[in-house]
Structure 1
Amino acid sequence: MSSSDIERPTVRFVHTISKSAGNYPSNSPVKFRGDSGLQDGNSTGTHDLVGGFYDSGNNIKFSFPTAYTHQKYTDIGELDHVKDIIKWDSDYLLKLFVPPNATFAAPILYSQASIHNYCTFVGSANNDSENPNDINCCGRPEDMTYQRPASTCDITASDLAGEIVAALSAASLVFKDDQAYSKDLVDAAEKLFELATNVDSTKQGTYTMVDACGGEARNFCNSSGYLDELIWGGTWLFFATGNTSYLEDATKRYDDAEKDKIPFDEGIFYWNNKFIANSVLLTRLQFFHDVGYPYEDALLSSSNLTDSVMCSYLSDQNFDKTHGGLILLKPDYDTPLHDYLDLLRRSGGMCSNDGFSVRLLTSFSMSQVNYILGDNPMKMSYMVGFGDHFPTQVHLRSSSIPWDNQHYSCAQGDRWLNSVDPNPNVLLGAMVTGPDQNDSFIDQRDKPQFTEPTISSNAGLVAALIALHDPPSISYDSNGFSFGIDQLGIFENIRIPTAP
């Protein structure tokens, strides 16, 4: 099946909206959700932790997110929609950081357990079988009556701090037209980054190192390091402010972060590894807004690593593939990199013993998306609602329990979990975990290793679909290049003279 045989879906964010916590938006297209988690934060006293998103199939709110935007969203009429989703989370992130004030002498980070890991989490993930919690109770978020403790961390949770800084900074660029809100995001990010980077280096660490901070999250998304998150936060903060001290901090940490990488994470961008994402960001900076001395070494290393990663996706030596052609990385998908070659007007690059081209990268990216949408041995679309054959027993509480104005207890929720009937609520647009390494898939609600959707993996799929979308309103230049990505907008706040 060729790429032209598959009608690519219109990108909608119903899946993400269906995971919203707090006061549910009245204009949401998802009608099987309502207000939930309105008492979140009560266990901490009076701090408001209402909002955010539940991750995966449970009701825990994990706090390790990032934000992205793309002008191609405009061409499919989704720009305002995706901005609403980003703001829902950025509003929540602003609540998670409490700087020193009259009430709190030391800064506090509130965390949840999840996708991209913040320092603490709202909800319980313990294995207590006697008392209901977010793992053992298979109830809808709207029916939660059990205690939802909020974990707290101090400023030594460097990975969590860096991730929040990055998310707030990136969001500030998304909302640059709302100057007051954008300033609030930047101010919070700068304050948090200052506190996190001024901590004695011997005390910096990961949020899962401290039981009170990330102990319960440890079994779900254990963080192995923090340098990549500090670089991630510093780089995005540089883009948001143009302040070169943040770029200096990021590039100074680059070598140490490269040495700190875990071998099995090499070349993979997911919640525990931002190193390749840092390299792509810094590579873009090098090519489009060369800042010169003293950042050249880190930028050159970034560029070389980005080329190496593109080679690794095309080679059979670095990553295994299923017989059907799905690359086996991590549970999270990476964003296609061919967009950058288009923008750089590069036809390709060289690997150690071979080369790569825009055409090869585009073909590879398309093959992965086509596999997800049905071009696979199971002939199964792993996006719910797309095609004629897709998962019907998605592992998600709000999707698998009827929306019928009835309150369901944990025991009643178990009945729906173990039912063999299709979900009563179709989670339109959600990508499930997908097949195993043999291309096999089991559509059963009680097998989350196949049927569970996550925010992080779905974000990767949306990014891939957007990257592969050719916006009709974007004209081609005289050389035939399509500038579907905003080439320079990310650098608007940088005032360093561009090198000739």
Structure 2
Amino acid sequence: MRYKRPVSVCNETASDLAGEIVAALSAASIVFKQENEYSQRLLKKAEQIYEITAKEDRIHRAITYTTIDACGGEARKFYGSSGYKDELVWAATWLFFATGNHTFLDYATTNFAAAADDETTTYKGIFYWNNKLAANAVLFTRLRFFRDLGFPYENGLALSTNMIDQLMCSYLSKQNFNRTPGGLILLSPGTGGPLQFAATASFLSKLYNDYLTLFRRSSWNCTNDGFSLEMLQSFSTSQINYILGDNPRKMSYMVGFGDHYPTHVHHRTASIPWDGQYHSCAEGDRWLHSQDQNPSVLLGAMVAGPDQFDDFSDEREKTWFTEPSIAGNAGLVAALIAHHDPPRSSASNGPNLGLDIMGIFEKVHLNS
């Protein structure tokens, strides 16, 4: 298709976007640590961007990327940003793991509570592109459980563990979040696209379940209830199974998986046949409104998902049912990887959950 592809240039501050970039580069430097030169390039660039962003925060010039039209105006109605503090904490946390520099951990733990105070009620406890706090709390808890740094970090890290304990309780108690009759958790009812939130809930709960298993903690208490690891594992698995077809419609919401999946996905490339011609957006409308199945299978894409009654309409024009997104699929892939538990080796004397527990702490040492 031929249509405008505007490029946004952020000449002024865009703290949330910069924080995301820093976190991604820092995490990638850990993943590619065996390729030392490349890993160091990633880390150097992450530190450079972080220094600019942290300076803006110190002098109170930090703002979101969607504040300025030239930077994020085009994205505002699709990916509007509600704040930047969680992204700066996210960036500092990953930089700490990548470098072992306690300056970054100081910033992250000091500012975590302030970021939590700014968390919007609608998306409280939800891990998605606009909110990193729940995932950050899981990372902090991992640090507290397996590489406890003690004073002066204990209180800040304990706050994170308490937050995650309460979040897991809210997943299981059914008091904070509603569910569809078929069992899909509705973390943000009324906003559409429930599967992306259920996928990240499955991801975080599986990670936390693994941490508790390795930490030899079999259960924990909430305000009025107690929960076991088996209950947490069951919840985590149920959300992925729902997405993949264990639901009232027996519909796999991952395109190409199973025998029954959406065939009218709201996606230009999948719905417009390749005929050797380039078509404008206006010309593409005939395929948008077509009743024909997509000529191309968008293999692996997770659509937005059903409504609160488990109903789903496989119609291309109804984006709240059939539109996939990279952000949504990222959570699904993370959850699927988390649920892949490699078989235990004969030499293992404990659970093998596919976690390299200490690998992320290679650069982390007690502060002297």
TM-score when normalising by structure 2: 0.92
| Partners of 1:212 and 1:469 in 2: CA distance | 42
Could you tell me which residue of structure 2 aligns to residue 182 of structure 1? 39
Q: 1:254 is paired with a residue of what secondary structure?
A: helix
**Where do 1:252-267 residues align within 5 Å?**
252-267=110-125
Shift, 1:232, TM fit: 0.1
Structure 1 pair 476/216, CA: closer, same or farther in 2 (3 Å)? farther
Q: Unaligned regions of 5+ residues in structure 1, if any? A: 1-142
Could you tell me which residue of structure 2 aligns to residue 167 of structure 1? 24
Q: Does 1:327 align with 2:327?
A: no
Q: Does 1:397 align with 2:268?
A: yes
Shift, 1:478, TM fit: 3.2
| Partners of 1:192 and 1:407 in 2: CA distance | 39
Structure 2 counterpart of 1:264, which letter?
Answer: T
Could you tell me which residue of structure 2 aligns to residue 271 of structure 1? 129
Structure 1 counterpart of 2:245, which letter?
Answer: G
Structure 1 pair 476/343, CA: closer, same or farther in 2 (3 Å)? farther
Q: Does 1:345 align with 2:216?
A: yes
Considering only aligned residues, what root-mean-square deviation do their CA atoms show, in Å? 1.8
Q: More deviation in 337-346 or 385-394? A: 337-346
Structure 1 counterpart of 2:259, which letter?
Answer: D
The answer to whether the 8 Å contact 2:344/2:352 transfers is no
The answer to whether the 8 Å contact 2:343/2:352 transfers is no
- Out of 35, 55, 68, the position equivalent to 1:198 is 55
Q: Does 1:241 align with 2:99?
A: yes
The answer to whether the 8 Å contact 1:342/1:483 transfers is no
Q: 1:215 is paired with a residue of what secondary structure?
A: helix
Could you tell me which residue of structure 1 aligns to residue 166 of structure 2? 308
Structure 1 pair 256/497, CA: closer, same or farther in 2 (3 Å)? closer
| Partners of 2:116 and 2:334 in 1: CA distance | 25
- Out of 303, 310, 313, the position equivalent to 1:432 is 303
Shift, 1:476, TM fit: 7.6
Q: 2:160 is paired with a residue of what secondary structure?
A: helix
Give identity over the alignment, percent. 59
| Partners of 2:326 and 2:209 in 1: CA distance | 24
Q: Deviations over 1:113-168 (max 9, x none)?
A: xxxxxxxxxxxxxxxxxxxxxxxxxxxxxx33x44322122452211111110011
The answer to whether the 8 Å contact 1:155/1:161 transfers is no
Structure 1 pair 409/475, CA: closer, same or farther in 2 (3 Å)? farther
| Partners of 2:163 and 2:11 in 1: CA distance | 33
Structure 1 pair 147/431, CA: closer, same or farther in 2 (3 Å)? closer
Q: Does 1:288 align with 2:146?
A: yes
Q: Deviations over 1:51-85 (max 9, x none)?
A: xxxxxxxxxxxxxxxxxxxxxxxxxxxxxxxxxxx
| Partners of 2:171 and 2:293 in 1: CA distance | 36
Q: Deviations over 1:231-271 (max 9, x none)?
A: 00000000011111111111111121121111222211111
**Where do 1:378-417 residues align within 5 Å?**
378-417=249-288
Give every structure 1 segment of 4 or more consecutive aligned residues whose post-TM-superposition deviation is greater than 6 Å.
Answer: none
Q: 2:313 is paired with a residue of what secondary structure?
A: coil
Shift, 1:176, TM fit: 0.7
Structure 1 pair 495/428, CA: closer, same or farther in 2 (3 Å)? same
Q: Does 1:482 align with 2:352?
A: yes
- Out of 406, 418, 434, the position equivalent to 2:289 is 418
Structure 2 counterpart of 1:226, which letter?
Answer: Y
Q: Deviations over 1:438-473 (max 9, x none)?
A: 111000111111011111211111222222222126
Q: Does 1:447 align with 2:318?
A: yes
Size of the aligned set, in residue pairs, is 354
Could you tell me which residue of structure 2 aligns to residue 157 of structure 1? 14
Q: Does 1:374 align with 2:245?
A: yes
Could you tell me which residue of structure 1 aligns to residue 90 of structure 2? 232
The answer to whether the 8 Å contact 1:343/1:487 transfers is no
The answer to whether the 8 Å contact 1:155/1:196 transfers is no
Q: Does 1:492 align with 2:350?
A: no
**Where do 1:50-129 residues align within 5 Å?**
none
Structure 1 pair 474/391, CA: closer, same or farther in 2 (3 Å)? farther
Structure 1 pair 188/272, CA: closer, same or farther in 2 (3 Å)? same
Q: 2:113 is paired with a residue of what secondary structure?
A: helix
